[in-house]
Amino acid sequence: MLSYIKKYPVSLFIILTVIYLSFFKPPKTDLNEIPNIDKLVHFCMYFGMSGVLWLEFLRAHRRDNAPMWHAWVGAFLCPVLFSGCVELMQEYCTSYRGGDWMDFAANSTGAILASLTALIIVKFKIKK
């Protein structure tokens, strides 16, 4: 467990932040008047989560030739499944938030786009 904290500190912080943001009761603001702003927020949360998972995986395993399917599972599949679980928990375990399949679609789209970006980076070996 400690090795994951050392290899993925930013990812773990983002995951905990997404969990918090997924279950707290948001205040009413003027931003609520913007149509579908919550879908943009969902997209950004999961694009960020998946993207940072990819970056930290690539950084942590650049020398040990870890199989790329590990990254696909950890940085793409797990965020998508996590997103589905969060939406179901919002629907059935909270009284002030409901699950929304369009939120799930926005979450999945964020993870897909982050994964495609990582694939391009790996394919063309783009370095900093």
In whole angstroms, what is the distance from residue 46 CA to residue 1 CA? 23
Could you tell me the pTM of the whole model?
Answer: 0.91
CA atoms within a 13 Å half-sphere pointing along the CA-CB vector of 2: 0
Total domains in the chain come to 1
Q: What SS3 state is found at 10?
A: helix
For residue 18, being part of any structural domain is answered with no
**Each residue's pLDDT tens digit, 44-69:** 999 999 999 999 999 998 888 889 99
15 Cβ contact partners less than 8 Å away, ≥ 6 residues apart: 49, 82
Query: What's the half-sphere exposure (Cβ side, CA atoms, 13 Å) at 89?
Result: 11
Q: What is the pLDDT of residues 70-86, one digit of tens each?
A: 999 999 999 999 999 99
The verdict on residue 83 lying in a domain is yes
Q: Is residue 11 part of a domain?
A: no
Range of the domain at 101: 36-128
* 20 inside domain: no
Q: Which residue has the tokens 């919550």?
A: 38
